[in-house]
Structure 1
Amino acid sequence: MASLDGKAKVVEKSGNDVTELYITGAYATLSKSKEVKATVVVLKEYSPSCGSSMIYNGKFIGEKVAGNGITTALLRRNGLQVLSEEQFADNFDGII
């Protein structure tokens, strides 16, 4: 994701740049994932942090674009599989 590479920002509707907070959270998630030896992580789709295939476009009008959130991008760069809650439900419906 471009935010991890310093090429994009996460900005609140108020204009406050929260990119570093999102990156810090992504690294905390990676650390915990490694600690528990996770291989698959389920995150919330559309979030600028957790989206695994679609994220909101940042215009605050509900539009989505193809892309990965910051946490998803970092986890995938480190070999973890990331699913959205929707993908998880589709793949595991009735199993648990």
Structure 2
Amino acid sequence: MNKKNKILISACLLGCKVRYDGKDNLIDSNFIHRLQQQGRLVSVCPEQEGGLPTPRHPAEIQDKFPLRITDINGEDVTPQFLSGAEKTLEIAQREGCCCALLKSRSPSCGNLEIYDGNFTGSIKAGSGATADELMRNGFPVYNERQLDQLIEFIELLDGCEPNYGRRAS
């Protein structure tokens, strides 16, 4: 197997109970199962890499420039999120990952949208600390709602056309 074809993945998407509430975000996908069986997935939880415990208080991005992330009690957890982002980038580079599949809407992992910072469940366009760090360093980042795009990317990279469980159009 070509080392460059490894995929960084949020641990919660593989069923690890690392979410802020101690739960997971397991995705049931033939594509993900096959990649896992092939040893191509590199599991990581940026919040844990940054030193945050599980469970922990929910956190949301308050400001982007400069970045400020607080938990629901107002505690600034920006340093832990930045540290987790840096460590996750190091893991992706060390493991030779070609891209990342991260949890949508997370203040770490969200790649297209995040919670708006008011802890009301409202969403806004934006990306989390880890997704930003990976994208700044050239890693394509997908979320669990973009599996079809990830499948296409991996099939192009692998130079073949296996159907990894893509839904019929």
Fold conserved (TM > 0.5)? yes
How many Å separate the matches in 1 of 2:98 and 2:124? 26
Superposed, which structure 2 residues align to 1:33-72 within 5 Å? 33-72=92-131
Structural mapping, 1:11-26, within 5 Å: 11-26=70-85
- Return the TM-score normalized by structure 2: 0.51
Instruction: Show CA shifts across 1:26-85 (max 9, x none).
Output: 011000000111111100000011000000001000000000100000001101110001
2: CA distance, partners of 1:33 / 1:45 = 18
Match of 1:82 among 141, 144, 148: 141
- Fraction of identical pairs, as percent: 35
1:86 is displaced (CA, Å) by 1.2
Q: Output the TM-score relative to the length of structure 1.
A: 0.88
Residue 7 of structure 1 deviates from its aligned partner by 1.1
- Secondary structure (helix, strand or coil) at the match of 1:14 reads coil
Relative to its length, the structure with more strand (as a share) is: 2
Alignment-mate amino acid for residue 17 of structure 1: D
Large movers: runs of 4+ above 2 Å: none
SS of structure 1 residue aligned to 2:80: helix
Which residue identity does 2:83 align to in structure 1? T
Q: Aligned pair count?
A: 92
